[in-house]
């Protein structure tokens, strides 16, 4: 009888241990799933900026060199500020149009008094169209010139320093577009040397040109009504 009681107690203990073990297993937190990590061995896309300019240097004739020097001098002589991607500010375009005519087409100005002259907005628009290819109509006063009733008012001035440009290198980048490296020189107002000569030939005399700036510009080229080359400025970045 005593052995039966002991055996029953042992069986009860074993059963209890079994039930406890099952309960413990059921209460364990489910194992976390492993993160599914994949290794991409495909080449990574190159997100670095790409230079789309396929450079092909253009060998300029003396005539072409001279024409481009004159074209870029129109910008340097008025102190055009750098811009990119056709984003020249309206104020810069207006200042260019006024000053370009003041330096090259003085006959288009009307005298106001002994200190001031004025020019019609249509002449300013025409210069912007010619050199930037933009149909401009946003006429307004700028920090340099007052605008009123279709005219820009300009103080008379003379004796300024003489600034001009020379194209050092021209590359064909496709699509009738060209990349130019342009040097800007400034000389005294009395200097009378050849602006198209190499700097080594200018000599020295006190007013000879000195390098005052370097730009990288993009221009487009089309043919005019007489088959001549017509250039317009797309961007103008200081180097």
What is the per-residue pLDDT for 1?
Answer: 45
What is the per-residue pLDDT for 172?
Answer: 96
In a domain, 25, yes or no: no
Domain span holding position 130: 62-238
Is the pTM higher than 0.85? The answer reads no
What is the per-residue pLDDT for 227?
Answer: 87
In a domain, 33, yes or no: no
What is the per-residue pLDDT for 195?
Answer: 95
Q: How many domains does one find in the chain?
A: 1
What is the per-residue pLDDT for 205?
Answer: 64
In a domain, 110, yes or no: yes
Tell me how far apart the alpha carbons of residues 126 and 121 are, in angstroms, rounded to a whole number: 9
What is the per-residue pLDDT for 203?
Answer: 77
What is the per-residue pLDDT for 208?
Answer: 87
What is the per-residue pLDDT for 54?
Answer: 58
Could you read off the pLDDT of 164-179 as tens digits, one per residue? 999 999 999 999 999 9
| Stretches in the chain below the pLDDT threshold 70 | 1-54, 159, 205-206
In a domain, 31, yes or no: no
């Amino acid at each position: 009888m005593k052995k039966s009681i002991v055996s029953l107690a042992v069986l009860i203990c074993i059963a209890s241990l079994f039930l406890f073990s099952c309960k413990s297993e059921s209460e364990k937190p489910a194992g976390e799933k492993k993160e599914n990590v994949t290794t991409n061995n495909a080449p990574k896309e190159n997100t670095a900026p790409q230079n789309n300019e396929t450079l092909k240097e253009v060998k300029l004739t003396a005539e072409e060199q001279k024409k481009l020097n004159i074209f870029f001098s129109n910008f340097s002589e008025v102190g055009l500020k750098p811009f990119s991607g056709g984003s020249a500010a309206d104020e810069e375009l207006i200042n260019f149009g006024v000053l370009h005519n003041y330096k090259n087409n003085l006959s288009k100005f009307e005298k106001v008094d002994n200190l001031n002259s004025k020019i019609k907005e249509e002449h300013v628009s025409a210069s912007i169209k010619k050199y930037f290819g933009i149909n401009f109509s946003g006429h307004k006063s700028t920090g340099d010139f007052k605008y009123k009733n279709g005219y820009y008012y300009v103080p008379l001035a003379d004796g300024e320093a003489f600034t001009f440009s020379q194209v050092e290198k021209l590359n064909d980048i496709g699509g009738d577009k060209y990349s130019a490296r342009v040097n800007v020189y400034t000389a005294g107002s009395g200097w009378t040397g050849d602006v198209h000569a190499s700097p080594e030939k200018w000599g020295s005399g006190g007013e000879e040109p000195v390098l005052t700036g370097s730009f990288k510009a993009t221009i487009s080229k089309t043919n005019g009504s007489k088959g001549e080359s017509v250039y317009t400025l797309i961007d103008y970045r200081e180097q």
